[in-house]
Amino acid sequence: MSDGPHLLELEGVAKHFGGLYALSGLDVRVDEGEIVSVIGPNGAGKSTMFNVVTGLYPPDDGNVRFHGDSIVGLAPNRITKLGIARTFQTVHLFPNMTVLENAMVGQHCRARSGVFGAVVRPPGTRREEERIRTKAKESLEFFGSRLAGYRQEQPAFSLSFANRRRLEMARALATDPVLVMLDEPTAGMNPRETIELRDHIVRMRDVLGLTVLVIEHDMRVVKGVSDRVIALDYGRKIAEGTYEEVASDPQVIEAYLGTKAVG
């Protein structure tokens, strides 16, 4: 692969909850400009991997490097500031803030003004607030007309399910990330919305120049977007490669369909 450090590198990462090993000895590398899909049956450790990378859980063993520097032990907000943004498997918005405010929260880590700026409102703060607003609107407009216009002033809870997912992605994009981690972005979407979102994921790489790590169950999406696919089962990596390679891997087929009956 490329020279120098990888963008994101998991080295022997382990995480257990009591006696349950959610992840064990996991090695994953992601390079800049890639779209990497993570697949695997339920409970394979995909979301746990996301939570370890974004700092919600500390790993029990191993290392996570971003741009070559370890990010283990950093608070989630520090990791976001370094350039890793994420969405959640079950949508987690700020339901009573407006759509625009949700996206503006994403820009929080790229702004500086504090109490003094808030109270006195010097020109610098006004400009910053204006910039936050513009950037937030831009990230909402990434989804075309879906989150545009009057919708931006409505509370987030009033959105349709698919739009909540879009807003969560827009909020992630508003953090000006380098790497976006999407946890089952098409879950709960209908086929048309799924196809639309597939194009959006590709555009994140091609238009915004982002690296995307995506957990996905819908194999059409995985096939359509992935530069590389990683398959997990029982917290281990069982296969890695192009979609075709992984899809034909006997271990992957076994993980999804169960062990062949003996005899």
Partner 1 sequence: MRGLPTASIVRAGLVGGVSALFVSLVGLYTRFADLELVGEQITLGRVLIPAPALVAAYVVTRPRFVGGERRPIVLGGGLAVGTFTGAVTGAVFALAVWFADWFGVDRIRQVFVQVTEPLIDFLTFDKGVPAGLAILVVLCLAGGAIGGFERTAPASIRTPAAVGVLTVLALGLLQRIVPIILIQLGIEADWLYTPSTRGLTWLGAAGIFVVAAAANVLWTRGGARAGQRVRTTIQEAPAAKLGLLVVTLSLLSVLPLLLGTVISEVLGQVMVFVLLGIGLNIVVGYAGLLDLGYVAFFAFGAYTTGLLTGALLNTTTGAAEPVLSADLNFYVAVWIVALMAAGLGLLIGAPILRLRGDYLAIVTLGLGEIVSIITASRWAQPLIGGPQGMRGVTNAEILGLNFQKDPQAFYYLALAFVLLALFVSWRLAASRVGRAWTAMREDEQVADAMGISTIKYKLLAFAMGGAIGALGGSLFAVNIGSLSPSSFGILISITALAVVVLGGLGSLPGVVVGALVLIGLPGLLREFEEYRLLIYGGALVAIMVLRPQGLIPNVRRSRELLEEEVEQDAWAKGVTGQAEAVVGVVPGGRLAGESENLE
Residues that bind partner 1 (CB under 8 A): 42-43, 47-48, 51, 54-56, 75-78, 80-81, 85-86, 88-90, 92-97, 101, 104-106, 108-109, 111, 113-115, 117-119, 121, 125, 128-129, 132, 155, 157, 161, 171-172, 175, 184, 187-189, 217
The three-class DSSP label of residue 210 is coil
Min CB(124)–partner 1 separation in Å: 12
Is the Cβ–Cβ distance between 63 and 12 less than 8 Å?
A: yes
Nearer to partner 1, 37 or 175 (CB): 175
Min CB(51)–partner 1 separation in Å: 6
Nearer to partner 1, 77 or 134 (CB): 77
Min CB(168)–partner 1 separation in Å: 9
Nearer to partner 1, 82 or 208 (CB): 82
Nearer to partner 1, 90 or 145 (CB): 90
CA distance 111 to 257: 49
Q: Report DSSP state, residue 25.
A: E
Min CB(1)–partner 1 separation in Å: 29
CA distance 18 to 203: 40
The three-class DSSP label of residue 157 is helix
Min CB(159)–partner 1 separation in Å: 12
Taking alpha carbons only, the member of 76, 72, 85, 58 closest to residue 9 is 72
Strand order across the beta sheet in which 236-241 lies: 84-86, 179-183, 211-215, 35-39, 228-233, 236-241
Residue type, 9: E
Nearer to partner 1, 48 or 226 (CB): 48
